[in-house]
């Protein structure tokens, strides 16, 4: 469904993505892991069009989308969340999600009809808010919410775009572990044909969620496989645990 | 119904009801008509207040709702003012309503061309470019004396009857006042419709988080340009009204002082709040009028002190301060 071929990105002499060949299948539950500075968020930025690759291509369902700007890729079904919350902080949770749903339904630029008269937008936003158990905070300004609840608003916005490919950049960061099941439940209720790529440091969550894992180190893919294969991979363990493993 | 579901429904209901007219929204218009009967000797001043409200409303659309910071909004006010003046002076086109439309069209066009260039930038660069646009127009008006009257401007302009029926009475400003009130009402209804629409909601999204708006697939720049054009056209209408009401246009309509003045109006009243323009314009002009009468040489000091007080104690302007108080009392009541 989403594929990269020979994807490279450099900032001057610094190479942050090196010949990345990656494939995300339809309906996949895929995790991208790697130590800090491995280039995971850069990779997501390349997939979504925030960054333009120095070399290589990004393909969505076989079509080259490398030159498409971010907004056009979103229209084609690539949605993302951010590692650090990017929300409309002065607006309510309901409004945050409504903005995303309005854009997806193509009414975000409508100038005459009140936003409050768009029953279909409000109903869809309310459904997502309920799904993520954000109902009690729906009328509150996002800035007033605890960070963990804001993370769930991030996900609600991304789901409001009804994506075919969902890229979650450290979605559980800041969510109390007691609430991480809400996140997993939400992902579990997504239609099976949506491909989900999760970038996460919480290995417990990664191994519970992912059917396939890719390990990125220094901007290049170190290993890829099932959770069992990755768990048993000596190189991966060495990257995560350092030389103690080799001793 | 569970508490969670109830809260969710309540938030959705708030959104559904937000755009509906509330009874108190009639107050500014009732007050506007009351002024006409109660203060017949102040209608010239009242007309200037109405024009300032309209100008501030146009700025609120870009600054308060879309978060586009500008110090050059007088460029569009001046474009409208000069368009009407030049049409009347060189072509004898002095029909008021078509003059307003011409002012809106020219200002909107300038907004479109300049917006395409300057809305590629943000922050200080944007601020400087808006200033440059205004300075360019000011210099063009200064140098094109054959068309604009140069430094002296275009004095002694006269305008035809409104709808062929109501002449402008120079001494008492009765027609001008009602005319300005009617134009303000029409423009206000347009702005109100825009800010409560999905487009308006997306503008607040752009103001709140540009990065996220790109990530939800919104065509951010075209929306910015569009709102900039609408705002420029409205400022053009305000400028055109100014020329028609005063019978002259000169370089002062295009200056930094006018841009800064309208910004102060919004800061005083509260930006991004629709009625902040009303409160701010009335406060600013009444303060200016009263202080200038009482202390002709030091009235700006009083205005400065008022601004400092608002900046320290009412960061979202007077309307914002009332909003905070209302929320606090509502919270205490719960």
Q: Flag if A139 and B11 touch (Cβ within 8 Å).
A: yes
Same-domain status, A131 and A193:
no
A103 and A6 together in one domain: no
Query: Do residues A246 and A194 share a domain?
Result: yes
Of A185, A155, A159, nearest to A170 by C-alpha is: A155
CATH of the domain at A24: 3.40.50.300
- Burial pattern A197-228, b for ≥16 Cβ within 10 A else e, equals bbbbebeebbeebbebbbbbbebbbbbbeebe
pLDDT surpasses 50 at A244 = no
Which residues of A are less than 8 Å from B205 in CB distance? 88, 91, 99
The pLDDT of residue B117: 95
Residue A45: which region, alpha, beta or left (left: phi > 0; alpha: psi -120 to 50)? alpha
Provide the pLDDT for residue B307.
Answer: 85
Radius of gyration of chain A (CA): 19
**CA of A164 to nearest chain B CA: how many angstroms apart?**
14
Does one domain contain both A66 and A169?
yes
Same domain, A171 and A246: yes
Give the model's pLDDT for residue B79.
Answer: 97
Give the model's pLDDT for residue B107: 98
- Of A104, A116, A161, nearest to B15 by CB-CB distance is A116
Q: Which of residues 92-111 of A touch B (CB under 8 A)?
A: 92-95, 98-100, 102-104, 107-111
Residues of A in contact with B5 (CB under 8 A): 130, 135
pLDDT attached to residue B170: 62
Flag if B217 and A93 touch (Cβ within 8 Å). no
d(CA A204, CA A183): 13
Largest CA distance in chain A: 70
Cβ of residue A137 closer than 8 Å to a chain B Cβ: yes
If you count DSSP H runs as helices and E runs as strands, how many of each does chain B have, helices first? 15, 0
What is the pLDDT at residue B238? 98
Q: Could you report the per-residue pLDDT of A16-59, keeping only the tens digit for each?
A: 889 999 999 998 999 999 888 888 999 999 999 999 999 999 99
pLDDT at B312: 85
10-residue mean pLDDT profile of chain B (334 residues): values are 66 84 94 95 93 97 95 97 96 92 98 96 94 95 94 90 73 84 97 96 96 94 97 98 93 93 92 93 91 86 86 84 81 65
Contact B197 A114 (CB under 8 A): yes
Which chain B residues touch A if contact means CB-CB below 8 Å?
A: 2-5, 7-12, 14-20, 193-194, 196-202, 204-205, 208-209, 211-220, 223, 226
Q: Name the pairing type of β-strands A2-11 and A14-24.
A: antiparallel
pTM for the structure as a whole: 0.91
Structure tokens at B180: 């300005």
Percentage of the residues of chain A whose pLDDT score is greater than 90: 60
Confidence bin at A245 (pLDDT 50/70/90): very low
Read off φ and ψ for residue A59, nearest 5 degrees.
Answer: -120, 135
Mean pLDDT of chain A: 89
Q: Which residue out of B2, B11, B18, B120 would a mutagenesis test of the A interface target, given it has the greatest number of A Cβ atoms within 10 Å?
A: B11
ipTM confidence: 0.88
Question: What is the pLDDT confidence band of residue A2, given thresholds at 50, 70 and 90?
Answer: very high
The span from the CA of B139 to the CA of A100, in Å, is 44
Residue that terminates a domain, selected from A126, A141, A161: A161
Cα B202 to Cα B62, B207, B288, B323: the distances in Å are: 12, 9, 36, 23
Q: Does A1 share its domain with A54?
A: yes
User: How far are the Cα atoms of A103, B11, B25, B26, B158 from residue B14, in angstroms, in the given order?
Assistant: 21, 5, 18, 21, 49
Alpha helices by DSSP H, B270-298: 276-294
- The span from the CA of A240 to the CA of A233, in Å, is 11
* Structural element, H or E, at residue A190: none
Same domain, A63 and A175: yes
Of the partner residues B16, B209, B217, the one whose CB lies closest to the CB of residue A86: B209
CB < 8 Å from B in window 39-98 of A: 48, 50, 70-72, 74-75, 79-80, 82, 86-95, 98
Query: For the residues of B171-190, what is the DSSP string, one character each?
Result: TT-HHHHHHHHHHHHHHHHH
Are A66 and A134 within one domain?
no
Residue A77 pLDDT: 92
Residues A186 and A223 placed together within one structural domain of the fold: yes
Q: What span, in angstroms and rounded, lies between the C-alpha atoms of B18 and B21?
A: 8
Task: Please report residues of B whose CB lies closer than 8 A to that of A109.
Answer: 198-199, 202, 219, 223, 226
pLDDT above 90 for A106: yes
CATH 1.10.3470 fits B22-333, yes or no: yes
Cα–Cα distance measured from residue A126 to residue B11, given in angstroms and rounded to the nearest whole number? 9
CA distance B214 to chain A (A): 6
Q: Bridge-partner residues for A57, per DSSP?
A: A5
Looking at the structure, tell me whether residues A56 and A167 fall in a common domain: yes
Beta strand pairing status for A220-225 and A14-24? unpaired
A224 domain residue, yes or no = yes
DSSP secondary structure letter of residue A141: B
Residue A242: pLDDT over 70: no
Q: What is the count of structural domains for chain A?
A: 2
- For A162, counting Cβ atoms within 10 Å of its Cβ (0-12 exposed, 13-18 middle, 19+ buried), the class is middle
Higher pLDDT pick, A63 / A246 = A63
Give residue A69's domain range.
1-77+163-247
Nearest CB among A70, A72, A88 relative to B208 is that of A88
Question: Quick one: average pLDDT of A138-151?
Answer: 91
Is position A82 within any domain? no
Nearest chain A residue to B226, by CA: A109
Long-range contact set of residues B66-70: C-beta below 8 Å, sequence gap at least 24:
B66/B203, B66/B206, B66/B207, B66/B223, B66/B224, B66/B227, B66/B228, B67/B203, B67/B206, B67/B207, B67/B208, B68/B119, B68/B126, B68/B224, B68/B227, B68/B228, B69/B123, B69/B126, B69/B127, B69/B130, B70/B126, B70/B127, B70/B130, B70/B259
- Both A67 and A188 in one domain: the answer is yes
Q: Which of B198, B212, B223 is nearest residue A87 as measured by Cβ atoms? A: B212
Hey, are the CB atoms on B197 and A113 less than 8 Å from each other? yes
Place of tokens 């109100």: B192
Burial B231-270 (b: 16+ CB within 10 A, else e): bbbbbbbbbbbbbbbbbbbbbebbbeebbebbbbbbbbbb
With CA atoms as reference, the chain B residue closest to A140 would be B11
Q: A175 with A241, same domain?
A: yes
Backbone angles phi, psi at A18, to 5 degrees: -125, 110
Cα–Cα distance between B27 and B185 in angstroms, integer? Answer: 12
**What CA–CA distance (Å, rounded) separates A168 from A44?**
9
In a 3-state reduction of DSSP, which class is residue B320? Answer: helix
Q: Does A28 touch chain B (CB under 8 A)?
A: no
Q: What are the DSSP calls for B154-222, one per residue?
A: B-S-----BTTTB---TTT-HHHHHHHHHHHHHHHHHHHHHHHBHHHHHHHHHHH-HHHHHHTT--HHH
Q: Reply yes or no on whether the pLDDT at A198 is more than 70.
A: yes
Of the three residues A161, A190, A207, the one that is the final residue of a domain is: A161
Residue A123: which of A104, A141, A97 has the closest Cα? Answer: A97
Do residue A86 and residue B223 have CB atoms under 8 angstroms apart? no
């Amino acid at each position: 469904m989403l594929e990269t071929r020979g994807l490279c990105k450099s900032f001057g002499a610094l190479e942050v993505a090196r010949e990345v060949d990656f494939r995300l299948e339809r309906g996949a539950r895929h995790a991208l892991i790697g130590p800090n500075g491995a280039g995971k968020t850069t990779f997501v930025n390349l997939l979504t069009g925030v960054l333009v690759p120095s070399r290589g291509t990004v393909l969505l369902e076989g079509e080259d989308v490398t030159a498409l700007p971010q907004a056009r890729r979103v229209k084609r079904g690539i949605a993302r969340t951010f590692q650090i919350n990017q929300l409309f902080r002065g607006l309510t949770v309901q409004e945050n999600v409504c903005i995303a749903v309005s854009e997806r339904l193509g009414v975000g630029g409508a100038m005459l009809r009140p936003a409050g008269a768009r029953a279909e937008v409000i109903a869809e936003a309310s459904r997502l808010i309920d799904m993520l158990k954000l109902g009690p905070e729906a009328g509150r300004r996002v800035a007033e919410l605890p960070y963990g609840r804001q993370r769930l608003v991030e996900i609600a916005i991304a789901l409001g775009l009804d994506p075919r490919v969902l890229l979650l950049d450290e979605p559980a960061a800041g969510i109390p572990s007691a609430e991480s099941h809400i996140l997993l439940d939400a992902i579990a209720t997504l239609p099976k044909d949506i491909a989900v790529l999760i970038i996460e440091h919480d290995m417990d969550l990664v191994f519970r969620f992912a059917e396939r894992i890719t390990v990125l180190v220094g901007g290049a893919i170190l290993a890829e496989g099932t959770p069992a294969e990755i768990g048993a991979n000596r190189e991966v363990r060495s990257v995560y645990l350092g030389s103690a493993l080799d001793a | 119904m569970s508490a969670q579901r109830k809260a969710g429904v309540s938030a959705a209901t708030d959104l559904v009801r937000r755009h509906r007219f509330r009874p108190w929204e009639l107050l500014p218009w009732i007050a506007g008509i009351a002024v006409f009967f109660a203060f017949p000797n102040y209608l010239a001043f009242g007309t200037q207040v109405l024009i300032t409200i309209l100008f501030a409303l146009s700025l609120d659309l870009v600054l308060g709702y879309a978060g586009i910071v500008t110090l050059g909004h007088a460029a569009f006010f001046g474009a409208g003012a000069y368009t009407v003046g030049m049409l009347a002076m060189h072509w004898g086109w002095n029909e008021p309503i078509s003059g307003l439309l011409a002012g809106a069209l020219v200002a909107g066009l300038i907004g479109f061309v300049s917006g395409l260039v300057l809305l590629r930038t943000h922050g200080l660069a944007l601020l400087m470019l808006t200033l440059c646009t205004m300075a360019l127009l000011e210099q063009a008006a200064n140098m094109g004396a054959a068309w604009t009257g140069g430094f002296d401007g275009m004095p002694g302009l006269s305008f035809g009857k409104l709808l062929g029926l109501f002449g402008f009475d120079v001494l008492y400003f009765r027609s001008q006042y009602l005319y300005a009130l009617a134009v303000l009402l029409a423009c206000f209804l347009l702005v109100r419709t825009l800010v409560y629409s999905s487009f308006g909601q997306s503008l607040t999204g752009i103001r709140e988080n540009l990065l996220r708006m790109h990530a939800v697939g919104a065509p951010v720049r075209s929306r910015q340009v569009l709102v900039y054009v609408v705002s420029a056209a409205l400022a053009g209408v305000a400028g055109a009204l100014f020329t028609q009401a005063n019978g002259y246009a000169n370089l002062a309509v295009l200056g930094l002082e006018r841009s800064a003045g309208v910004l102060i109006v919004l800061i005083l009243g509260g930006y991004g709040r629709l009625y902040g323009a009303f409160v701010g314009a009335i406060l600013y002009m009444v303060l200016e009028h009263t202080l200038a009468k009482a202390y002709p040489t030091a009235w700006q000091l009083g205005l400065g002190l008022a601004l400092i007080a608002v900046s320290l104690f009412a960061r979202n302007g007077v309307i914002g301060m009332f909003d905070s108080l209302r929320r606090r009392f509502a919270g205490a009541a719960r």
